[in-house]
Structures are given as structure tokens and as C-alpha cells.
Structure 1
Amino acid sequence: MIATILWVDDEIESLQSQKLFLENKGYLVHTLTNGFDAIDFVKENTPDVVLLDESMPGITGLETLSKIKEVNRHIPVVMITKNETENVMDEAIGSQISDYLIKPVNPNQVLLSLKKILDNKRLVAEKTTAAYQQQFRNLFIALNSNPDYNEWMEIYKKLTFWELEMKKSDSPEMQEVFQTQKQEANTEFSKYITRNYLSWIKGREDGPVMSHNLIRRKVLPHLDKETPTLLVLIDNLRYDQWKVLQPFFAEILRLVEEDTFYSILPTATQYARNAIFAGLLPVDIEKRHPSLWKSEEDEGSKNAYEEELFRLQLKALRREDIRFSYTKVLHYQDGQRLVDNIHNLLQYPLSIVIYNFVDMLSHARTEMEVLKELAADEVSYRSITASWFEHSPLYQALKKIADRKYHLILATDHGSVRVKTPVKVVGDRQTTTNLRYKHGRNLNYDPKEVLAFKDPREAGLPAPNLNSSYIFAREDSFLCYPNNYNHYANYYRNTFQHGGVSLEEMIVPVVRMSSKPNNP
């Protein structure tokens, strides 16, 4: 496809040789002598690049640049100037020029600038595709070498890296190859969890960091008597979502350690988050603190006692000396109160902030057609998460204390997965309605399609009734009843759900950061 160049210069006649040079290189070059005509031109046409002289009579290059950006802010503009003064360059760069050249320019300078702008996307895409092709075999070998839980975390990090990189590639074939490899990884991961999960729950010390030991292993050892710590738990935050939020945090905080841990099953707020704050598996919360555990059949919030559970965990660990605050953000108004109160939180050695937005987004996406359109896949889901955080009260609050000395631990309770494959399950009226896990009596299912625990206590889970069992959807499946099966299969397909067994739900971020000492 021929690229169209608009060259605007009041001395354009002296640049005819350069125009011919570019045309011989395959570009279509339009020339104009003033900014007014250039503005009219871009109103009617969309050139691929504008070459713009900075010093022109009538209307300057900077004024022309501003008007062009008002018409179409996406048109790349190369400023050509005799003036190297800093304020001119600052103003041009602030107006989002793509490049600038100093007069007199030679044809190769102009050609190089055009190639850098026009060919950059293509070259990046080609390089991304080639790099993934080289790494494909390494990932394949890693998946088939019986990885342990640490190696699975590294595999998932690498898959996430390539998933984010793939947006630079314009090769649908290569993206399809990647998605197939990621699906294979989830299949193998589900088998791995099936083989190893119960041994982790039985308390092997060499097991991974999990929900019920996260505080003990990843938070308390890093508390500093001299510096306050914020523990921010964003509900339902996947590792890939953390990666798109990372640049925002990097503006105000220094990364100390980026790690992951394993959410317990079910990968759902009631179970995983209560386990985090209690420092106990759900079966032990029910046993030791029955008044603080609600079954799924009970009315009201299932996570109403996190602060009390955390206080009891500190007591059990003999760390009752730790003064802490607890803040839960469920609504926008709660977020505004967080902004107003953020300085006061730093008076405590430890302040816990629970932020529920991402969890609400995933549930709302299932129920609201608009959000289904906005978050149709992982790319758009990440984009919505980044847009939310950039404008969130949480980000405002953290920027408000950018000049204060503190540590931040960012974590979550579980992730989510985009479901595609319906699996039939039959149960009685007492069976729970979750799409990624169910518990109840007399469940009827294909054992090849789910992970089942017939004795829930073995898996650290309370048994609501005699003969209750739990089943968990694996990979990208979701559980549907035969009644009105086709309707619900189509309604929930391609929605983000949680509660089951997948890399996205179980391997989730826990990140340590600290404030930058030289922040203004």
C-alpha cells in the first residue's frame, strides 16, 4: 500500500528534488506552502505522515500542528525547524509530534524518519512473531517436563508475557498458535492440580504459598517498625491485569518484589479471601469460629468478618502487638472516603484496604449486555481494568501520598477465566448455582470433565450436608444444568467466571513496592 505524505513548507519549490527522491522510493507526496491550506487538506484527507515546517508566515508550524491535531490527533507529524531553542522543542513535543528534523535536511534523513514512523508497527510485529516462534519450543519442553509449582508459576508468567506481546503482532495465525499453546498449558495444569492439590492442603511445608498462609509468609515478615505498610487487596485481579496496571504503580512506587501465589479452591471470594484473613482453610474457620463463617445458603455477605478473622489470626501467631486499620471499598463513595483518609492510614504500622471493583466488573460483565460488548475478550478486559484504575479513587489516594515514606503490598484473592465450553451437571434443589464450582448431594457429572472432592474436608472445605461433595470446572469449561441447557450455555459462554481450576484463577499476584525517596 502506497503511503501518502503531506509536506508543508513556504519554500517548497526548493525541495522539489527531495519530493522526487521520496516519490522514487514509492511514496505519494502532496506539497503545500502554508498552514491554512494544510489544515483544510487534513479535513478532507488523511495523510499517513505530515512533514511540517516550523517557521512559516501567516500561521506558524506550531499553530498548524495544534490545528491538525484538533482535526485528527492520530496523524503522525514530523516537525522540520531551523530553531533548536528548548522552548520550541518542548512545545512541539508536548503537542505530540512523532519526530523532528533540523534544517537543512537531506533526503536520507527524511526517508529514515518516515520509515521509523510508517514501518515501526510492521517491524515490531515481525520481530514479536519471530521471537515467539523461537520461544514456542522452550515453552513446549517446559510444559512436558513435569513442572513443579514454582515452575508452573514461571510458565504462567511467560505465557502472560507473550499474550501481552501478541497484541503487537498482526499475524492471526501466530495468535492462534499461541492460544492453542495456552489451552494446552491449562490442560496440563489441571492435571497437575488434580495430582497435587490435596497434598498441599494436608500441610506439607514445602508446598506453595497459598491463600491461608499468604499473610504469614508474604506480609508479616516484611512489616517494618519504622515504615508503615499498606496491604491493598484488589478482588479478582488476574496476573495479566496486574501487568497492565504496573506502569501506573511504577510512576509513584519502586518495585521491590513481584511474585505469585496459589488461590485455594474454590477460587471464589467467600473461600479464598476469608482464608487469607483468617490464616485458615475454610473447614477450620467453620470449626474454630463458627459464628464468623456463613454457608452459601445463609443470607447476607459471606465476607463480613474479615477484620475479626484477621485479628484472630494475629492472636494465633502471637502478633497482637501489630496495630492495624481495615478499610473496605465497595462503592465509589467508599473510594472517595479513602482518598480523604489516606494520610491517616499511614499512622498505623499496617493498613489493609480491600478494593472490590474488579470483582464487581467481572460479575457485571456477565449480567450487563453493554459490558459484554466492552469486555469481549482478554484484551478488552485488561483495557477496561487499566482505564478503571487510571481514574479510580485508589490511584488518586496513592498519588496523594507520593511524598510519604511507606511500603505497599498489592495482592488479590483469586483470578477469573473466560469460559467457552459448557459441561452438563445434574443436582438436586440444594445444589449451588455457581458456574465454575458446585457443591451438593447426589451430583451427577462426567468425572473426566471436572475435579471432584467427594470428601470436602480432605480439601479443606466445610461439608454443608451429609454426603455433600464439591466439583470444580477445569480449563475453560462452565457447569450447566440440563434444564434450558442451550439458553444458559449461550448466555454464559465467553463471560469471565471464577471458582474453578485454571492458571488464570489460581496463580495470582502478590507484589511488594516502596515509595520513591526522591518523589517531589
Structure 2
Amino acid sequence: MNEIKILWVDDEIDMLKPHILFLEKKNYNVTTCNNGQDALDMFDKESFDIVFLDENMPGLSGLETLSEIKERRSSVPVIMITKSEEEYIMEGAIGSKIADYLIKPVNPNQILLSLKKNLDHSRLVSEKTTLDYQKEFRKIAMDMAMVNSYEEWVEMYKRLIFWELELEGIEDQSMVEILESQKAEANSQFGKFIEKNYEDWFEPKADKPVLSHNLFRELVVPELKKKEPILFVVIDNLRYDQWKAFESVVNIHYKQEKEATYFSILPTATQYARNAIFSGLTPLEMEKKYPQYWKNDVEEGGKNLYEA
């Protein structure tokens, strides 16, 4: 690993000598400064990987120095260290995109943790995720061989999607390839499970998952009975893994109270599955009940013209 260069700015820098020696023993290169203006001059002349910045200094304050640093090189992480616990100072620092905020007195291990969190985060996460998946791999393989119900397949799928998202950004692509092979095996086994059980799910008293044609009745109608406004949004062709990929974006604006899964009918194509959701009918039932609207694949015309 290349030597990490730290710029530490504090008007009481001499009192931090033990912390600096601690970091130097860990092979960090620490440059010190006791005021904001000199720090900016050093920052202009040298390339630093990270900055430790005291908030309360004579002359240029910590927040003013932070603003100048961000104007020069916004990508360099700045960790603010302060005695103050005033909320407005914290908010100002966070608003200026600091990487971390530490309250004095700080101990050397706090400093080290903040360094690792900001400079080694990707590597550490990658290594830990790889190790965790290696431990989970055998258990997933063993559990997959024992799956024998739709509930167990739902849980297996969720586990595989969890690891797919976890491994998405890691450096060791061999782990991604191993997961892909597990997913391929799961797809094969799930296909056999569907072939064996799918027809039985249409029997009146069968133990079955929520399917497209009973989704509205099973999951939406109970919400309507609460007599509260409901917005029912259907996103065409959205799989569970795709939902998990952007779930965090939605959660910024909405609080998730419940999450449920359902199985699409076959074929999963829009004209069958989506029509089944809105009508509450299977394709065969739609054809029998509304022959004037139903179009077979060999016939011209769309099958989704009467959804509204």
C-alpha cells in the first residue's frame, strides 16, 4: 500500500504529539500545521490523501478552512475535530460535506478508525463480504438441495439476491462468478419445482402462493377495507432483485410498512400476467368471460387495450 499522507491542522497541534507518533508507527505520513492559512498554503503545494481539521482556530476558522479546501480539491476527505457539540457547527460541517466529525478529546484508535473508514472502506468491505459469502456458500448449496415448498423458494431467492447485491461492488470477481453458478443451479431447480407444482396451485383448496390473478384480492383489498386512500402502482416486468436495487431511493420519500412477494402466472408476458392482476382472472377465464376483448397470439390487435 502506498504511504498515506495526512495534513493535520490544529492550533494546539503540539498537544497531539502522541496521536501523531501513533499514526507514524502505523506507517502514515503526517504533516502538521497550527492555523488555517498555512494549511491552505501547504495544501496548494503538496498532495494529501486526507485532512484532519480543528474547528476552533484563530484566524481562519475550521469551517472557513474547510470551505477553501473543498474549493481547491473537493475529492479529498476532511475529518473535522472539535471541542464543540453545538448543533449549528455540526450542521455547518455536515453541509460542507465533511467525511467525519469527531469530538475532543479523541483517542488514537478513534483517529485510526476514521482513517480506515474513509480510505480503506472499499477494500475492507470487499474482503469482509468475500469472507462472509465463502462461509455462506456451502450452507446455501445444502439448503437448496432441501427446498421443497414455495415459501422455501422465496427465502432461497431472497438470500441469493442479498448476496448478489452484497458482491456487486467487490474487487474479487471470482466470487461473483461462483454466485452466478449458484443462481443458475437455483433457476434449474426452481424450474423443475414449477413444472411439478404449478398446475396444482389452481385447485381451489391447494396450498399455493399469491399469484397474479389473486394478488389484488389477497394483498390490495385488505388495505382498501381500512377506508384509507390507496395508490396502487404496477411497474411492468419489475423483479424482486430490481426492486431491492432501488428500494433505498424510494425509502427516502416513503416509509415501508410491509413487503410481500407473489408469483407471476405463466406466461409471465405483460398481456397475460398484467391483465390477470387487473381482472382477477386467469387467461383462460378472461377468454371465456370476455371473448369479445380477448385476442389469441395469432390474432391481430393488443391484449391490453381495456385495462382501464
Fold equivalence (TM over 0.5): yes
Give the match for residue 95 of structure 1.
Answer: 96
CA distance in 2 between counterparts of 1:57 and 1:220 reads: 65
Share of identical aligned residues, percent?
54
Alpha-carbon distance, 1:26 to partner: 0.6
The structure that is helix-richer by fraction is 2
Letter in 2 for 1:60: S
Give the match for residue 168 of structure 2.
Answer: 167
Cα deviation digits, residues 409-457 of structure 1 (max 9, x gap): xxxxxxxxxxxxxxxxxxxxxxxxxxxxxxxxxxxxxxxxxxxxxxxxx
Cα deviation digits, residues 113-163 of structure 1 (max 9, x gap): 323433444333333223222222221122111421111111101111111
Give the match for residue 302 of structure 1.
Answer: 303
CA distance in 2 between counterparts of 1:154 and 1:187 reads: 16
CA distance in 2 between counterparts of 1:60 and 1:208 reads: 62
Give the match for residue 185 of structure 2.
Answer: 184
CA distance in 1 between counterparts of 2:161 and 2:44 reads: 41
Cα deviation digits, residues 452-511 of structure 1 (max 9, x gap): xxxxxxxxxxxxxxxxxxxxxxxxxxxxxxxxxxxxxxxxxxxxxxxxxxxxxxxxxxxx
Matches within 5 A, 1:106-185: 106-167=107-168, 169-185=170-186
Alpha-carbon distance, 1:185 to partner: 0.8
CA distance in 1 between counterparts of 2:232 and 2:16 reads: 61
Whether the aligned pair in 2 keeps the contact of 1:124 and 1:168 (CA below 8 Å) is no
Gap regions ≥5 residues in structure 2 = none
Give the match for residue 24 of structure 1.
Answer: 25
Q: Structure 1 residues 103, 257: CA separation in 2 closer, same or farther (over 3 Å shift)?
A: closer
CA distance in 2 between counterparts of 1:183 and 1:70 reads: 49
Answer yes or no: is 1:287 the counterpart of 2:277. Answer: no
Answer yes or no: is 1:196 the counterpart of 2:197. Answer: yes
Equivalenced residue count is: 307
Give the match for residue 352 of structure 1.
Answer: none
Greater mean alpha carbon deviation, residues 237-246 or residues 63-72 = 63-72
Answer yes or no: is 1:260 the counterpart of 2:261. Answer: yes
Q: Structure 1 residues 185, 11: CA separation in 2 closer, same or farther (over 3 Å shift)?
A: same
Give the match for residue 348 of structure 1.
Answer: none
Gap regions ≥5 residues in structure 1 = 308-520
Give the match for residue 222 of structure 1.
Answer: 223
Whether the aligned pair in 1 keeps the contact of 2:264 and 2:273 (CA below 8 Å) is yes
Matches within 5 A, 1:342-421: none
Whether the aligned pair in 1 keeps the contact of 2:200 and 2:206 (CA below 8 Å) is no
Whether the aligned pair in 2 keeps the contact of 1:12 and 1:33 (CA below 8 Å) is yes
Alpha-carbon distance, 1:15 to partner: 4.5
Letter in 2 for 1:3: I
Give the match for residue 66 of structure 2.
Answer: 65
Matches within 5 A, 1:242-281: 242-281=243-282
CA distance in 2 between counterparts of 1:293 and 1:40 reads: 76
Whether the aligned pair in 1 keeps the contact of 2:147 and 2:153 (CA below 8 Å) is no
Greater relative CO, 1 or 2 (CA 8 Å, sep 6+): 1
CA distance in 1 between counterparts of 2:202 and 2:43 reads: 65
Alpha-carbon distance, 1:287 to partner: 2.4
Letter in 1 for 2:186: A
CA distance in 1 between counterparts of 2:114 and 2:37 reads: 24
The structure that is strand-richer by fraction is 1
Whether the aligned pair in 1 keeps the contact of 2:80 and 2:100 (CA below 8 Å) is yes
Alpha-carbon distance, 1:252 to partner: 4.7
Whether the aligned pair in 2 keeps the contact of 1:128 and 1:168 (CA below 8 Å) is no
Whether the aligned pair in 2 keeps the contact of 1:216 and 1:279 (CA below 8 Å) is yes
3-state SS of paired residue (2:234) = strand
Whether the aligned pair in 2 keeps the contact of 1:46 and 1:75 (CA below 8 Å) is no
Q: Structure 1 residues 244, 39: CA separation in 2 closer, same or farther (over 3 Å shift)?
A: farther
3-state SS of paired residue (1:84) = coil
